[in-house]
Amino acid sequence: MREILRDEGAVLGLSAAVLFEFQVRLQEKGVLDQHPDTVAEYESLFDAAIPVDSVVARAAFQLKRDTPQRLPAMYALIAACAKTHDVVMVHRDPHIAQIPAHLLKQEVLPPKT
């Protein structure tokens, strides 16, 4: 991931669904009360936020339907943002990793150590 972040030519997009999930988790942990600008700071690390619209929703349904293992809806929406913009999804999530390669361009990072 550090290599990608150091690449000045890389364009980094972030699914709006990830922003939602991030905000929910920070709220659950009580972080937002003490650091209300955390989500905006995180978002500023990316070049663009990819909205979840009807095109993404339809692609998410197809990913969910065509992935043999269980794919939670939120993960399908996040992956569909990458798919509809024809970009490589870089992640370390086991749910998304089970999406067949012919359905989603992805780079799976090693687990955090």
Q: Is residue 67 part of a domain?
A: yes
pLDDT in tens, 39-86: 999 999 899 999 999 999 999 999 999 999 999 999 999 999 999 999
- The pLDDT assigned to 67 comes to 97
Q: Is residue 59 part of a domain?
A: yes
Q: Which residue has the higher pLDDT, 62 or 7?
A: 62
Residue of 59, 48, 37 lying closest to 15 (CA atoms): 48
Q: Is residue 12 part of a domain?
A: yes
Residue 86 sits in a domain whose CATH number is 3.40.50.1010
Residue 91 clears pLDDT 80, i.e. is over it:
yes
For the chain, how many structural domains are there in total?
1
Is there a contact between 75 and 95 (Cβ–Cβ < 8 Å)?
Answer: yes
- The pLDDT assigned to 11 comes to 86
Q: By residue range, what is the domain housing residue 88? A: 2-108
Q: Is residue 29 part of a domain?
A: yes
CA 83/CA 106 separation, integer angstroms: 9
CA 32/CA 112 separation, integer angstroms: 24
CA 51/CA 81 separation, integer angstroms: 7
Q: Is residue 113 part of a domain?
A: no
Indicate the pTM of the whole model.
0.87
Residue 5 clears pLDDT 90, i.e. is over it:
no
Q: Is residue 58 part of a domain?
A: yes
